[in-house]
Amino acid sequence: MAIELNPTARRTMHSVNALHVRCQRGDDGKLKGLSFEAETGFYHSGWWDLSDDDAQALLGGWLYLHPPTSIKSELGGRIRDFSRAQIGSLPKGLLTFVFDFSPAARNADWRGRSFTDTRNRTGGLVPADLLHEEP
């Protein structure tokens, strides 16, 4: 007898993390802080205020970009790298994540800290335990 798996079912064990973030839109309607590098095929998303430990814990994990009014993600994928850049007079540099686009990261539900609390620009680190998030 064949067993069908639910593609949105959660795994019980995890070894990577995921991060859901709110991206503002610019006057051009595009998500701010997002760029595409055609030579590598990678996206870059910044400027995120996270610790180096959190960024390190996200390597190999997933990033989900949500427009400010949508609990569903618009874009995202597997995180490949990160860098820190000094922006203005901020006390520490902000992070930029490098990620591969994945169609599985579209229309994902927000996970982590409350989406309805608009002070939360991120959901914080959550276990990457959805089936498509397999390492």
Mean of per-residue pLDDT scores for the chain: 84
CA distance 61 to 80: 8
Determine the straight-line distance between the first and last CA of the chain, rounded to whole angstroms.
28
pTM of this structure: 0.82
- Average pLDDT (100-124) is 87
Q: How many CB atoms lie within 10 A of CB 100?
A: 15
| Better pLDDT: 6 or 91 | 91
CA distance 61 to 99: 9
Percent of the chain with pLDDT over 70: 84
